[in-house]
Amino acid sequence: MTEPKKLKVATCSLAGCFGCHMSLLDIDEKLFELVKVVEFDRSPITDIKHCGPCDIGIVEGGVCNAENVHVLKEFRRNCRILVAMGACAITGGIPAWRNNVDLWDCFQEVYSYGIGLENGQIPNDPELPLPFDKVHPINEVVRIDYFLPGCPPPADAIWKFLTDLAAGREPKLDYDMLHYD
Amino acid sequence: MTKTFTLDGKVIPFEEGETIMEAAAAAGVYIPHLCHHPEFKPHGSCKLCTVNIGGRLGAACTNRAAEDMAVESETEALNADRRALTQMLFVEGNHVCPSCEKSGNCQLQAVAYHLGMLTPHFTHFYPARDVDASHPDVLLERNRCILCELCVRASRDVDGKNVFGIGGRGIKARLIVNSASGRLADTNLSVTDRAAEVCPTGAIIRKRHGFTVPIGKRLYDHHDIAEVPVAGMERPKRD
Amino acid sequence: MSAQDVCDLPGIVARWHHDPANLVQILREVQDSCGTIPSDTLDRLAKLLDVPRVRIESTASFYAFFHAESHGAYEILFSDNIIDRMAGKEALKQYFCERLWLEPRKLSEDGLVYVDDTADIGLADQAPAMLVNGYAIPSLDKARLDLVAELIRARKPLAEWPPMLFEIPDNLRKPGPLTGEAFAPGAALKAALSRGAETTLAEIDASNLRGRGGAGFKTAVKWASCRKAEGEAHYVVCNADEGEPGTFKDRVLLASHADLVFEGMTVCARVIGARQGLLYLRGEYRNLLEKLKSVLAGRREAGLLGRNILGEQGFDFDIEIHLGAGAYICGEESALIESLEGKPGKPRNRPPFPDRCGYRNQPTVVNNVETFACAAKIAEKGGAWFASLGTPQSAGSKLISISGDCKRPGVYEYPFGVSVRQILIDCGAEDAHAVQVSGPSGTCISFREFDRRIAFEDLATAGAFMVFSRERDMFEVARNFTHFFAHESCGFCTPCRVGTSLLRNIMDKLAAGKGSAYDMNEMKHIMHVLRGTAHCGLGHTAANPVVQTMEKFPDAYEKRLKRLDFEPAFDLDGALQTARLITGRDDEWAHLDND
Ligand SMILES: Cc1cc2nc3c(=O)[nH]c(=O)nc-3n(C[C@H](O)[C@H](O)[C@H](O)COP(=O)(O)O)c2cc1C
Ligand code: SF4
Ligand code: SF4
Ligand code: SF4
Ligand code: FES
């Protein structure tokens, strides 16, 4: 019997805290089972910088700046199935708390009045990603196929979700696996 | 002979004047709801309890049960509508469950779980809403208010105080309080008021009581809201 | 200057009998006399009326015409129906603002003028139109706006402005049984009294009269049920809210046939046993108030109102006028009753319906202005006469308010059953491509359907008839209507509160050229939820303009779709603008290609 073709998976973290990725790694010993069916493309665990053609893209974090958009669009272009993982990707999450703070005040706070700053200047370096007025969930920027809520989603939920997808089943979370916090 | 109607084919007895919601609850059948509470006057605003009453859609919490009426509730179509309504409630406010004291005990969240809501779906409004921390014992977090008016009804009808009200209209509707300053501290709300504990979401919460129950032990952590009995939903024993 | 100095609060409250149920009227008078309703006034009203402040604030913050901030000595509100826009309202407004060095929605620097938009003010046949301190000025053009600007600069009090500015012709183009025949005040009442209440009701029944406010409920059934209902008092309420954009026939009835309307109300009072009647007049028709009051005074003098009407012992009835304050939803009968009771206009849970539990929770008949006018005619001339007009299911005549792309806009009275095509010929609309029948909440019909008929069995209508020629963009028509509904949603129920704003935002997204098929499906989805779950007619119909124009004029949408799949919900590059300004950056990475 031939091995079924492995699913190619890419992941990334936009305006998130890597908590979802930690949860992904948290599937522990099942990770070994997982790598039997999937192969990682771009991901914090592979160090590949750009996403190539993939079966599944998993995105953690919302969209808070221009660079996030470039990465997200690259994922959308390359991934057959795009998954929003975690509260931030799905709702903006904690970073979206800044959405009702004036961006100017944010800059002032960070670069001018922040603790330990003297003569702070607002940087204009093109290397720095320019922030949006507001943080947005990723489904407001590209079409998203699946949502995997949680802050972070429990490892079991990620496992169930990925194995369902790998098996060609419509992913379905049990009650205990579905939560928003 | 008691009068009956059917709910998803199940025979439900009812007493004259009872709503579909009341009769269903008394029979142990859950119909999703948010603005309904058995102790208060039916309100009918959240529309989560929308059921099909003989071909016409209507709110179970405000429509009276009638002899031999055929009501449908657990259909895929109705649950899809309810999911959309729940999603609307999420995007019109600012719900950041991971940092909310009510998470795990919140009815909005629990109904969303019950309906299998995976995403708020609609474009977020991210409205600018005020948080009022002026009161010594009670926090008013308007970002989480779903305008169910339970606090309004509780304060008016039970506490006799009229601490809360709704101001504005349309998408700009907002919770207001009974003071010239607009601050909760300047009302006569007391932490022991019914209004201070009736909120289904984390919009009105007792200070210094957040996050006391560990994750895993909270009301809806392992139990679907349909299975968690709400005090007062059973019909008082008749005889 | 505090409100106390200019506005006699105790006097106003006393004039309204210290009754919190009259709160909307009290607030209106406060607003009228001091230009704002400041926060301290709410506190003083709470004390004077002995109700919680929060209730006063609820009401004060609900109505569009009430505001806490000053709008200066002259508040100018441009009517913003699509018809006004087609008649050049946007450019005229801009012209006006430039003349006075103003920005819309910002009080002028000298604190003198404030300019904003408002929902249709019932002058679509004389568009564009505006309200100055609540008083309507029709047929705006540059010359008239120049004059207004001059008067404002000279700080002339409104009372001294040339009356010709405020003249509003009826534009009655086609008279009929209601509008074309002279009516002798008292004629219907005399007939009703000699017939007796029961027989009069039988005549109304025989006439087959159905409500003219839109729903077409049979009037005799409503009256009979109210008559039977027990209560401490019975009430007659005339719905003159006429808020449906493009409708203005009730304005004409009230301006020139008020006796007929009041007489119909009095006949109704006789039938149901009411002692009090209320006319709920939309705030936009403020200019009619004095005239209507004098008609009422005249009727009292003639013994047609007051005690022992026409000498009939014990037949006491009088009518009070309440003004609305900028809320379309108050045309919905139960929201109207809430408003009459001093509350925000939010529709009640029904049943019970007003005929059993209405004003002050007593049996109440609510009818449209035109319905009462018909009732008076029926009382005078008999049910059989009325039933012989129109079609078997739609008896009598119907007033149609015609506006838009036609040569002769105005009010037309037709027997029911008239075809759209006939109406278009009569009003000179050779070029018509689409007609919005019965306003945004009604039906949009395309040129393919012009043989349809105005009748309850085909095109039911509350009277609006807005004509659009081939050049008009039906997408913009629908977009204007979604703005209207989002603005007018009362906010009570989830689907309409949120759904109407979602719809408006998506239509704006499409208008900006950033739509996709995804957005189209999203709108259909929202429409489905609104139709099924909304609390009242506003929500049920709020998506109609979008859905109907999508179906009948798909090109208007398709040409706007940027791509078929998906477009971001917001303007990516635009959302970087603030950061660009702050950092002073304009490099390649400081921009996002919206493609
Ligand atoms: C949102 C909404 C607005 C309405 N506006 C009006 C109105 O301006 N005038 C009116 O007569 N009826 C209006 N109606 C209909 C009234 O609720 C009610 O049916 C009518 O006044 C009854 O009178 P009729 O039987 O004489 O038509 C409206 C209904 C809805 C749902
Ligand atoms: S109120 Fe409920 S839904 Fe809203 S943030 Fe808190 S837990 Fe989440
Ligand atoms: S504060 Fe809570 S109880 Fe009050 S209206 Fe908002 S959600 Fe309902
Ligand atoms: S449908 Fe709209 S107008 Fe009607 S009750 Fe609901 S929110 Fe108010
Ligand atoms: S529970 Fe019935 S409408 Fe809210």
Which domains occur in chain C, in start order? 3-62 (no CATH), 74-168 (3.40.30.10), 184-387 (3.40.50.11540), 397-471 (3.10.20.600), 475-563 (1.20.1440.230)
**% of chain B residues with pLDDT over 90:** 91
- The residues, ordered by sequence, that sit 6+ positions from B120 with a Cβ below 8 Å of its Cβ are A90, A91, A137, B87, B90, B91, B95
Interface test with B, best of C40, C44, C51, C54 (most B CBs within 10 A): C54
At residue B170's C-alpha, the angle toward residues B165 and B173, to 5°, is: 30
Please judge whether A143 and C589 are an interchain contact, meaning their C-beta atoms are less than 8 angstroms apart: no
Q: Which of C55, C38, C41 is nearest to C12 (CA)?
A: C41
Which residues in B49-110 belong to E strands, given as ranges?
Answer: 50-53, 56-59, 70-72
pLDDT digits (tens, 9 = 90+) for B62-76: 999 999 999 999 999
Which domains occur in chain A, in start order? 7-98+130-177 (3.40.50.700)
> Which residues make beta-bridge pairs with C276?
C235, C318
At residue C467's C-alpha, the angle toward residues C465 and C473, to 5°, is: 130
Chain B adjacent subunits, 3+ CB pairs under 8 A: A, C
| 3-state SS, residue C369 | helix
pLDDT band (50, 70, 90) for residue A42: confident
What is the pLDDT at residue A28?
A: 77
d(CA B37, CA C278): 36
CA distance C525 to chain A (A): 17
CB C279 within 8 A of CB C273: no
CB B82 within 8 A of CB B48: yes
Q: Cα of C333 to ligand 1 centre, how many Å?
A: 6
d(CA A87, CA A95): 10
- Residue C577 has phi, psi (to 5 degrees) of -60, -45
Q: Are strands C432-437 and C464-469 parallel, antiparallel or unpaired?
A: antiparallel
CB B43 within 8 A of CB B36: yes
Please judge whether C62 and B169 are an interchain contact, meaning their C-beta atoms are less than 8 angstroms apart: yes
Domain boundaries, chain B: 3-74, 81-206
What is the pLDDT at residue B236?
A: 44
Joined tokens for residue A30: 């099942």
Residue, of A168 and C238, whose pLDDT is higher:
C238
Q: What is the mean pLDDT of residues A54-58?
A: 94
Q: Which helix (H) or strand (E) holds C579?
A: helix C577-583
- Residue C591 has phi, psi (to 5 degrees) of -130, 155
Query: What residues of C are in contact with residue A69 (Cβ under 8 Å)?
Result: 572, 592
pLDDT digits (tens, 9 = 90+) for B90-104: 999 999 999 999 999
Q: Which residue of B has its CA nearest to C38?
A: B180
3-state secondary structure string, C270-309?
HHHCCCEEEEEECHHHHHHHHHHHHHHHHHHHCCCCECCH
What is the pLDDT at residue C4?
A: 44
Residue carrying the six token digits 């196929």? A145
Q: Cα of B41 to ligand 4 centre, how many Å?
A: 19
> Which residues make beta-bridge pairs with C76?
C115, C132
CA distance C111 to chain B (A): 25
| CATH number given to B81-206 | 3.30.70.20
Q: Which of B93, B60, B134 is nearest to A100 (CA)?
A: B93
Q: What is the mean pLDDT of residues B12-33?
A: 96
Q: Cα of C213 to ligand 1 centre, how many Å?
A: 5
Residue A152 scores a pLDDT above 90? yes
Tens digit of pLDDT per residue, chain C (595 long)? Answer: 444 456 899 999 999 999 999 999 999 999 998 899 999 999 999 999 999 999 999 999 999 999 999 999 999 999 999 999 999 999 999 999 999 999 999 999 999 999 999 999 999 999 999 999 999 999 999 999 999 999 999 999 999 999 999 999 999 999 999 999 999 999 999 999 999 999 999 999 999 999 999 899 999 999 999 999 999 999 999 999 999 999 999 999 999 999 999 999 999 999 999 999 999 999 999 999 999 999 999 999 999 999 999 999 999 999 999 999 999 999 999 999 999 999 999 999 999 999 999 999 999 999 999 999 999 999 999 999 999 999 999 999 999 999 999 999 999 999 999 999 999 999 999 999 999 999 999 999 999 999 999 999 999 999 999 999 999 999 999 999 999 999 999 999 999 999 999 999 999 999 999 999 999 999 999 999 999 999 999 999 999 999 999 999 999 999 988 777 899 999 999 999 999 999 999 999 999 986 6
> Which residues make beta-bridge pairs with C174?
C412
Q: What is the mean pLDDT of residues A91-95?
A: 95
DSSP string, B157-199: IISS---EEEES-GGG-EEEESSTT--GGGS---TTSGGGT--
Q: How many residues does chain B have?
A: 239
Domain B3-74 has CATH 3.30.930.10: no
- Residue C419 has phi, psi (to 5 degrees) of -85, 155
ipTM of the assembly?
0.96
Residue A116 scores a pLDDT above 80? no
What is the pLDDT at residue C348?
A: 98
Residue, of B187 and A41, whose pLDDT is higher:
B187
In Å, what is the CA distance from C548 to each residue of A41, C78, C504?
A: 47, 27, 15
Binding-site residues on chain A for chain B (CB distance < 8 A): 84, 87, 90-94, 96-97, 99-100, 134, 136-137, 139-140, 144, 146-149, 151, 173, 175-176, 178-181
DSSP string, A65-77: EHHHHHHHHHHHH
| 3-state SS, residue C534 | coil
Domains B3-74 and B81-206 share a fold: no
d(CA C410, CA C427): 8
If one residue of B35, B41, B164 were mutated to test the ligand 3 pocket, choosing by the most ligand atoms within 8 A of its CB, it would be: B164
Query: What residues of C are in contact with residue B162 (Cβ under 8 Å)?
Result: 52, 54-55
What is the pLDDT at residue C2?
A: 43
What is the pLDDT at residue A1?
A: 46
**Residue type for position B161:** K
Chain C adjacent subunits, 3+ CB pairs under 8 A: A, B
d(CA C412, CA C398): 8
Q: Which of C471, C431, C426 is nearest to C447 (CA)?
A: C431
**% of chain B residues with pLDDT over 70:** 95
